[in-house]
Amino acid sequence: MIKVGIIGYGSMGSMLVGSLIRSGRIKPEEMIVSTRTKNKLQDIKNLWDSINVTEDNCEAVRRAKYIILCVKPLQIKDVLLETRHCITPDTNIISIAGSVPMKFIEKVSGAKVTKLTPSLTSEVLDGISLVCHSASVSAEEREYIETLLGGISTVMKVKEEDLELAAELTSCMPGFIAAIFRNLVDSAMRQESGLGRKEAEEMVMRTLYGTAKLFIEKNMGFDRMIERVATKGGITEEGVNVFDEMLPEVFDEMFRRTLAKRKVVREKVESGLENV
């Protein structure tokens, strides 16, 4: 029995397929993947011989109860219009397009709707998946979706209006963290030292990994971590003071720009949703 259909096999779609299968929460034969890129169909079958693949989005919708839409926000409307004659009131659409309102998906499709914000960290079966459900999604359906995603991440339920900011703290965060520490290593390379870039990057990455384990396994908050490392009048405290003085403005500007960008995308999406 096919349980889950995935429409779109780009970066996030392929990550979700691979991670869900590796988690053991679903078998390849219980999934169907739809993509219009023909060479990807064979690539998928080469990885999992028993998985179902198709070029026809309607076939995926007809054969699966849960449909994960892994297409760009501006493509959602076309996919829904293409497939809505195949959708039943029992279909549960799971959209990763954060800028497309659930009420629009419900209006066009007549389906039950869940919004999902996954993270690249699910590639290593970790991190956070943000989820919110429409009122029509039953308790049993919510449990299935959250159990499925629980195999690749920690599931956090949020209100739809909070998804955008929460996405900055989860889905976008691997990129933000990489950018922050790339700049840190760049600065280290400008100091007079015999350390090579590869050595410096490994030092930072392994320390990041260990620090993350301390946060999670020892239930250690940010303030406690600083307290443990930054002794009064010491070197670490000096560095922390610089961050406290300068970083708030940097991060305020980051949120200002990213949330403004989300607003632009949302307005483009909503302008294309009229008269449907």
**Mean pLDDT in residue range 61-71:** 97
Q: What is the pTM of this model?
A: 0.91
Q: Can you give the pLDDT at residue 275?
A: 60
Torsion over CA of 255, 259, 262 and 264, rounded to 10 degrees? Answer: -120
pLDDT greater at residue 273 or residue 92:
92
Architecture of domain 4-158: 3-Layer(aba) Sandwich (3.40)
pLDDT greater at residue 132 or residue 265:
132
**Mean pLDDT in residue range 25-42:** 94
Least confident interval from 200-204, 217-221, 270-274: 270-274
**Mean pLDDT in residue range 83-100:** 94
**Mean pLDDT in residue range 181-195:** 95
Percent of residues in the chain assigned helix, strand, coil, to nearest 5: 60, 15, 30
Torsion over CA of 169, 171, 172 and 175, rounded to 10 degrees? Answer: 120
Amino acid of residue 245: E
- Whole-angstrom Cα distance, residue 28 to residue 2? 9
Nearest to 97 by CA among 261, 264, 273, 265: 265
Q: For the chain, give every domain's residue range.
A: 4-158, 173-268
**Mean pLDDT in residue range 84-110:** 93
**pLDDT over threshold 80, residue 270:** no
**Mean pLDDT in residue range 50-74:** 96
By the 10 Å C-beta count (0-12 exposed, 13-18 middle, 19+ buried), 270 is classed as middle
